[in-house]
Amino acid sequence: MINIRIAIDNKGNLGTLRAEGHAMNAEKGSNIVCAAVSAQLRAVVRALQAKAGIEAVISADEPGFLELIVKSGLGNSEWLEGATDVLLAGLLETERDFPDECSIKLFKNDLRS
């Protein structure tokens, strides 16, 4: 099971994200759920890294684990809100299609508190 916890700030922007686990219904490297989640998470990480004015701390110390903390998005609130909306739409759709393999929990505060 892939468990993803996402905290959204009061402006609707991604604050923190923690993803852990693996989908287990296929051989390693052949799981559509793992591929979908991995692609979506990698895309948002790369977009955050490339966007000037956004500071994000990313930790992916082991397979099946990602922690992302958006520290600032000065002057980029609308962009960050859009990126957050796209990420949530994709992940929630993945959970809807594969509820036994992907779980998304949304929070309105920082996961670290």
pLDDT digits (tens, 9 = 90+) for 29-63: 678 999 999 999 999 999 999 998 898 999 999 98
Tens of pLDDT, residues 85-106? 999 999 999 999 999 999 999 9
Domain range list for the chain: 25-62+74-106
pTM of this prediction exceeds 0.85: yes
Segment 67-83 shows an average pLDDT of 86
pLDDT band at 74 (very low <50, low <70, confident <90, very high): low
Rounded to an integer, what distance in angstroms lies between the CA atom of residue 6 and that of residue 50? 21
Q: How many residues does the chain have?
A: 113
